[in-house]
């Protein structure tokens, strides 16, 4: 296979972890006889410093022409919330321009890392959940106003926006335990009442084999740490999904472990770890690259259709963890480069991909 992959390191630890993800992609290509053309481009704060824009036209053009995008992280104190141009605007624009409306965030717990989680080990047994977060609507994209004494952010959703993300969740649930939890705040918000009605209609009509339950977001936040193994596929709006998945990262033991895929109606997608730019540790070589490398596995699976290679990458990460190649966030002493190299070694010594 020949594939074009845009590589956007971004800010802070983003370039450090993406470097390891790119190395894994090249190792997969070499082992499987593929040709992956990796092209780097600026985004976020680095792009602001260079061009004045968080998403330069050249970067957007590269992403449009690529089969997939490997993304690091953006932001930092240099470009704070009050700055007129902010790194986050680049990522939001990229999602909007490419129509990446569904964000997939899987959460599993490696038994060897259970001690890194603040939850009791018995609560973590069997945790295997997937959050499907709507990514291009809601309060993040709504009309915004600001005066010296007041501010507003409009949260709005159309039935069509809800339908398409619920369909993504339904299709994924069919290949899992066929249980969908739709998360909203229907006791307070009109958008949530519409969300609940549409979710009910879509699942009943199109996924009758799936069990659907509705849960208020505050209750869901509590249940994620009380009975996380009960969840299968959760589908929710933009802001709720953002918050809940950061909370869910404690289940795995570190936010540095969790990958994500942002998908649209087209073939390409954007793949990134869910963590931020972590400017406090940037440049120290201690960032955890496993979330980025697991995002590479999702890239191989969802954008390139290479299921065997995706599974091989996931096994290689587990092998590196089994060898106790752990970065400081997991209680280890490995550097970012050492963790990435351990995954590449595990790939290289594994049996050839069928």
- Lookup: tokens for 109: 């717990």
Query: Is 184 labeled as catalytic in the residue annotation?
Result: no
185, 232, 271, 329: the catalytic one is: 185
128, 153, 230, 246: the catalytic one is: 246
Distance of CA 89 to the CA centre of its chain: 17
Residue 111 backbone phi and psi in degrees, to 5: -55, -30
Query: Is 140 labeled as catalytic in the residue annotation?
Result: yes
Query: Is 230 labeled as catalytic in the residue annotation?
Result: no
The answer to whether 272 touches 168, Cβ cutoff 8 Å, is no
Query: Is 246 labeled as catalytic in the residue annotation?
Result: yes
140, 157, 271, 290: the catalytic one is: 140
**Which candidate, 95, 79, 81, places its Cα nearest to that of 45?**
79
11, 242, 271, 290: the catalytic one is: 242
The answer to whether 99 touches 135, Cβ cutoff 8 Å, is no
SS3 of 282-351: the string is CCCCCCCCHHHHHHHHHHHHHCCCCHHHHHHHHHHHHHHHHCCCCCHHHCCCCCHHHHHHHHHHHHHHCC
Residue 80 backbone phi and psi in degrees, to 5: -70, 175
Q: Which residues are catalytic?
A: 140, 185, 218, 242, 246
């Amino acid at each position: 296979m020949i594939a074009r992959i845009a590589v956007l390191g971004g800010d802070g630890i983003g370039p450090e972890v993406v470097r390891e993800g790119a190395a894994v992609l090249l190792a997969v290509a070499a082992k499987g006889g593929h040709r992956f053309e990796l092209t780097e481009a600026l985004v976020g704060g680095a792009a602001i410093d260079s061009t004045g824009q968080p998403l330069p036209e050249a970067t957007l053009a590269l992403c449009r022409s690529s089969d997939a995008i490997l993304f690091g992280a953006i932001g930092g104190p240099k470009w704070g919330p009050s700055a007129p141009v902010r790194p986050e605007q680049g990522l939001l624009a990229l999602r909007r321009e490419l129509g990446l409306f569904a964000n997939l965030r899987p959460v599993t717990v490696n038994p060897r890392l259970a001690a890194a989680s603040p939850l009791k080990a018995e609560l973590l047994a069997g945790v295997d959940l997937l959050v499907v977060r709507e990514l291009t609507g809601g309060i993040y994209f709504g009309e915004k106003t600001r005066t010296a004494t007041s501010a507003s952010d409009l949260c709005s959703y159309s039935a069509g926006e809800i339908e398409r993300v619920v369909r993504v969740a339904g299709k994924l649930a069919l290949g899992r335990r066929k249980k969908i939890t739709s998360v909203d705040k229907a006791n307070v918000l009109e958008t949530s009442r519409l969300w609940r009605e549409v979710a009910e209609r879509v699942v009943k009509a199109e996924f009758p084999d799936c069990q659907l339950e509705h849960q208020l977001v505050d209750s869901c936040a509590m249940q994620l740490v009380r009975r996380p193994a009960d969840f299968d596929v959760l589908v929710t709006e933009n802001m709720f999904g953002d918050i809940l998945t950061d909370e869910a990262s404690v289940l795995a033991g570190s936010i540095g472990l969790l990958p994500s895929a942002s998908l649209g109606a087209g073939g390409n997608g954007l793949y990134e770890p869910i963590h931020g730019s972590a400017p406090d540790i940037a440049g120290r070589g201690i960032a955890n690259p496993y979330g980025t490398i697991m995002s590479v596995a999702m890239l191989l699976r969802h954008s390139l259709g290479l299921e065997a290679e995706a599974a091989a990458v996931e096994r290689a990460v587990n092998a590196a963890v089994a060898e106790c190649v752990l970065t400081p966030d997991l209680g280890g002493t490995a550097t970012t480069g050492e963790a990435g190299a351990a995954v590449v070694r595990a790939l290289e010594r594994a049996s050839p991909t069928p």
